[in-house]
Structure 1
Amino acid sequence: MRRIGVVVNPIAGMGGRVGLKGTDGKVAEAREKGAEPRAPDRARAALESLAEVGDGITLVTYGDPMGASLVRDAGFEADVVGKPRNEDETTSEDTRAAVRAFVDAGVDAILFVGGDGTAVDVAETLDALADETPILGVPAGVKVYSSVFGVSPRAAGRIVASFSETERAEVNDIDEDAFRGGEVVTELRAVATVPVAEQRQSAKQLGGGTVETLAEGVADSVEAGVTYVLGPGSTVGAIKDALGFEGTTLGVDVWRDGEVLVEDAAEADILDILGERNVIVVSPIGGQGFVFGRGNQQLSPAVIRQCDLEVVASRRKLDDIGTLRVDTGDEALDEALRGWLKVRVGRHERRLVEVR
């Protein structure tokens, strides 16, 4: 019988849709902007998937809001081994305490729900204990750069219930203050034991290539009266340059008829400014292939449903990725987006790529 420790960071991802690019130190501000918890829904999806394939599994968890009720709601008897010091405002130390309790309880794997910061808390705690319990993340944070996550919540549930082999993978984190200022500063924080699985995401690749011709092609094709929602990243940043403005490197900007309507927009800003016809322009994350759900949660299901989609990428990036992925948090929308998609790779050239 496999014993799995389950811990949820309840505030993970709250800053994404309101444009904060992270939640570390920004919980109060995120709530003031109307942010709602994202992690519980992600945890439910993972636990439902785990329950579908996980015969003979016992779940060990932490007190609410870090797992107990979510585990019970999924149909499991919760073996609760501790609780956070303050239910209204959990901290990274609560996550670390949960991991120590899981090790004491003899779990065979740890399933955590959060982003890179949560992954660091879990991995560093195991390092300090010289423990090699396998870990797997349910992606719920704004930043999900590490290769210790499932490609979706449901994938994470399936993997942790059924894996048979493990390997070592990197846990990376970025400086959120630098990230909010438009700079990606990554740091290798730990190397963790993880399940071997095709549905585990790769680490994000930060390298790029020349995209000037691609950017010029997009700029040449813009249409009057159309609202363009321009996502984060260096590739779309080149398009912003071609349109004549600097924009926010790691945020979402909205442009129409030669005018920047909103810079560094949150979900609500985008919804307020959309017109009769709208186009989202995004580039997949290098190495991982995510079009939606990693670092661009401002592009929510409500936004996506009102827009056409233009995906752009260099040929080299597509060669490295192979396939594209989506993880919007809305399973019906994810399914609608899957299939074959024409990705712009040059001024006029496009390539058919599968979205899984």
Structure 2
Amino acid sequence: MHRFRLGLVINPLAGLGGSVGLKGSDGVAEEALALGAEPKAAKRMMQALEVIKGYQGEIEIITASGVMGEDAAKALGFTTRVVYQTPEKTAALDTHAVVNALLKETLDLLLFAGGDGTARDVYSVFEKAAIDEKLPVLGVPAGVKIHSGVYGITPNASGKVVKMLLDGELVSLMTAYVMDIDEVAFRQGNVRAKRFGELLVPAEPRYVQAVKMGGKEVDELVLADIAADVIQQMEDELYIMGSGSTVAFVMEELGIDNTLLGVDLIQDQTLIASDLTAKQLLEMTENKPTKLVITLIGGQGHILGRGNQQLSPELIRRIGKDNIIILATKTKLKALEGRPLIVDSGDPQLDSELCGYYKVTTGFHDYVMYQVANPDL
């Protein structure tokens, strides 16, 4: 019997900057660790592998030693073969080296955990090796910014795609864009997305995310109506203002400086603190009534887990789903073509608890009921 040969790569630095408000991890991993960030990429990969745990006898995992793959796979009982020795301190060059080693093997699928920077690393190795797009790849989302279309919508969803392949289901393949942004500009509040190339991915639209649609809403009258509704209903409790241009418009209407790509805290329509980390948010909202104002990622539908990892599972549980205020123009909602909103908090149990119908503010005293329903749950 042919054993499914799964190439596995974990970028242990991916996502480190998210919870501590650094907007990414490229070149700031040590700073993030010093601020108390905890590596989560291995945990995210294990969530994906958990879905196929019952297939250990049918899979051979080919990977790097230690934190770049072997540890996570072995912890779940998979047979592994190591083709790269992971150094004590890892860098992007190690991702390149692991992928290079894996391309010398005959793989059925390359599964990697990371963010857009990791996807770029994988793509660059494929490009240099002149891979003829016959090897499919799939990302397990573990980064701060995930604009690329090569990732599952959640780690669990990535695992479900692999399970479909193992079950022999007819899974089409398609090319998807690898996107990334300039993190230096990103930290200054400017989004400059760039398409770097394409990778071949399993085409399963329920589980594989779309490329993020960028750009500020053009209909400022609608945004002004949304902002007016939120402001009218504000009480004297704390409000956590999430990232994104729709929430930024509310801050603009309040006359408050806003961290476009971060998370701010306001009370009585006054700025309390800006660009907060996950730890700071927990400390500043402890034992205080708090509401969360967020919007969705255009084209993808994520409301948690894309660019706002400062909103930790502990914080979301404390706030409660009834105190989550979702803002979106009807244009953005229609662009989802009926797909649900998605939560990828890092805690699958919480994601399940957050599913259901929400009142989404789409104008002044104008709301629609829209479903949060991760297809992989």
TM-score of Structure 1 vs Structure 2, range by shorter chain: over 0.9
Query: Deviation of residue 78 (structure 1)?
Result: 0.6
Alignment of 1:194-213 (within 5 A): 194-198=201-205, 199-207=207-215, 208-210=217-219, 211-213=223-225
Of 260, 281, 300, which aligns to 1:288?
300
1:340 aligns with 2:348: no
Query: Deviation of residue 297 (structure 1)?
Result: 0.3
Of 235, 250, 254, which aligns to 2:261?
250
Which residue does 1:111 correspond to in 2? Answer: 111
Indicate conservation of the 8 Å contact 1:262/1:269, yes or no.
Answer: no
1:330 aligns with 2:325: no
Indicate the SS of the match to 1:81. strand
Q: Which amino acid aligns with 2:210?
A: S
Query: Deviation of residue 56 (structure 1)?
Result: 2.2
Which residue does 2:22 correspond to in 1? Answer: 20
Alignment of 1:55-204 (within 5 A): 56-84=58-86, 86-87=87-88, 89-131=89-131, 132=133, 133-163=135-165, 164-198=171-205, 199-204=207-212
Indicate conservation of the 8 Å contact 1:219/1:239, yes or no.
Answer: yes
Q: Which amino acid aligns with 2:10?
A: V
Can you give the 5+ residue segments of structure 2 that lack an aligned partner in the other structure?
166-170
Indicate the SS of the match to 2:272. strand
Query: Deviation of residue 53 (structure 1)?
Result: 5.8
Indicate conservation of the 8 Å contact 1:49/1:157, yes or no.
Answer: yes
- Which deviations, in whole Å up to 9, do the C-alpha atoms of 1:123-181 show, x marking residues without a partner? 12112112121110000000111000001111111212424321100000011111111
Report the Cα distance in structure 1 between the residues aligned to 2:157 and 2:351, rounded to whole angstroms: 13
Report the Cα distance in structure 1 between the residues aligned to 2:334 and 2:208, rounded to whole angstroms: 19
Q: Which amino acid aligns with 2:333?
A: L
Q: Which amino acid aligns with 2:99?
A: V
Query: Deviation of residue 55 (structure 1)?
Result: 6.3
Report the Cα distance in structure 2 between the residues aligned to 1:313 and 1:338, rounded to whole angstroms: 18
Indicate the SS of the match to 2:52. helix
Q: Which amino acid aligns with 1:79?
A: R
Of 233, 236, 246, which aligns to 1:235?
246
Report the Cα distance in structure 1 between the residues aligned to 2:81 and 2:229, rounded to whole angstroms: 57
Of 302, 323, 347, which aligns to 2:314?
302
Indicate conservation of the 8 Å contact 2:56/2:77, yes or no.
Answer: no
Report the Cα distance in structure 2 between the residues aligned to 1:54 and 1:344, rounded to whole angstroms: 46
What's the TM-score once normalised by structure 1's chain length?
0.96
Q: Which amino acid aligns with 1:330?
A: D
Indicate the SS of the match to 2:363. coil
Of 45, 50, 57, which aligns to 2:52?
50
The runs of 4+ residues in structure 1 deviating greater than 3 Å are 52-55
Q: Which amino acid aligns with 1:242?
A: E
Indicate the SS of the match to 2:61. strand
Query: Deviation of residue 183 (structure 1)?
Result: 0.6
Q: Give me the CA root mean square deviation.
A: 1.3
Indicate conservation of the 8 Å contact 1:54/1:161, yes or no.
Answer: no
Query: Deviation of residue 54 (structure 1)?
Result: 7.1
Query: Deviation of residue 316 (structure 1)?
Result: 0.3
Report the Cα distance in structure 1 between the residues aligned to 2:272 and 2:55, rounded to whole angstroms: 48
What's the TM-score once normalised by structure 2's chain length?
0.91
Indicate conservation of the 8 Å contact 1:167/1:193, yes or no.
Answer: yes
Q: Which amino acid aligns with 2:238?
A: T
Q: Which amino acid aligns with 1:338?
A: C
Of 225, 230, 240, which aligns to 1:218?
230
Q: Which amino acid aligns with 1:124?
A: S
Can you give the 5+ residue segments of structure 1 that lack an aligned partner in the other structure?
none
Which residue does 2:33 correspond to in 1? Answer: 31
* Inter-CA distance 55–314: structure 2 relative to 1 (3 Å threshold): farther
Report the Cα distance in structure 2 between the residues aligned to 1:316 and 1:55, rounded to whole angstroms: 48
Report the Cα distance in structure 1 between the residues aligned to 2:191 and 2:55, rounded to whole angstroms: 38
Percentage of matched positions with identical amino acids? 40
Indicate conservation of the 8 Å contact 1:59/1:77, yes or no.
Answer: yes
Indicate the SS of the match to 2:72. helix
Report the Cα distance in structure 2 between the residues aligned to 1:250 and 1:145, rounded to whole angstroms: 14
